[in-house]
Amino acid sequence: VNPIETSGARCSSPRRLANKRIGQIKSKKFRCSGTEDYRSKLNGDCFADLACPEKCRCEGTTVDCSNQKLSKIPEHLPQYTAELRLNNNEFTVLEVTGIFKKLPQLRKINLSNNKITDIEEGVFEGAAGVNELLLTSNRLENVRHKMLKGLESLKTL
């Protein structure tokens, strides 16, 4: 016997099911699709990721913190982040925080159109999976080899 859902409970996420009554959703819709699958396959049974940081927008595995006048990388980024958009902000010096050690799925970082003059050695420690780093339209005059330490998979700079 299949119990019938009568409470009127509604889904809060993912977005494609948000606000829909659970009792009216076909069972096949309860399967992850696209980036949801990518996000959830590593999560374990009851894993809850960090919320999207203030001033950022999160969609799938992309965390978009562009155009927010940020001068520091947000501290608490979701662990599933694959693309991090930090372009068009107020960064001047990228300081070592260890944030990239907490983002094992990170593949792309966009830091273009900032005011970056220096990148501290070790900023990218733990960013071994990043294959694309965008730094165009900044104020970097010198790029030292150690600035990029930790970017073992980098293909596009």
Pairing between strand 83-85 and 108-110?
parallel
Residue 28 confidence (pLDDT): 74
Out of 24-28, 60-64, 143-147, least confident range: 24-28
pLDDT per residue as tens digits for the range 33-86: 555 555 555 554 444 556 899 899 998 899 999 999 999 999 889 988 999 999
pLDDT per residue as tens digits for the range 116-138: 999 999 999 999 999 999 999 99
What is the value of pTM for the model shown? 0.69
Nearest Cα neighbor of 22 from 6, 38, 36 is 6
Structure tokens at 135: 């730094």
In the chain, what's the furthest Cα-to-Cα distance? 70
Dihedral Cα 75, 79, 81, 84, nearest 10 deg: 20
pLDDT per residue as tens digits for the range 74-120: 988 998 899 999 999 999 999 999 999 999 999 999 999 999 999 99
Residue 107 confidence (pLDDT): 96
Residue 10 confidence (pLDDT): 79
Nearest Cα neighbor of 15 from 43, 41, 34, 42 is 34
Nearest Cα neighbor of 82 from 110, 54, 55, 63 is 63
> Which domains, from first to last, does the chain contain?
9-44 (no CATH), 48-156 (3.80.10.10)
- Grouping H, G, I as helix, E, B as strand and the rest as coil, residue 134 is strand
The residue ranking higher by pLDDT, 95 or 28, is 95
Evaluate whether 130 touches 104 at the Cβ level (below 8 Å).
no
Structure tokens at 130: 């990043």
Evaluate whether 116 touches 139 at the Cβ level (below 8 Å).
yes
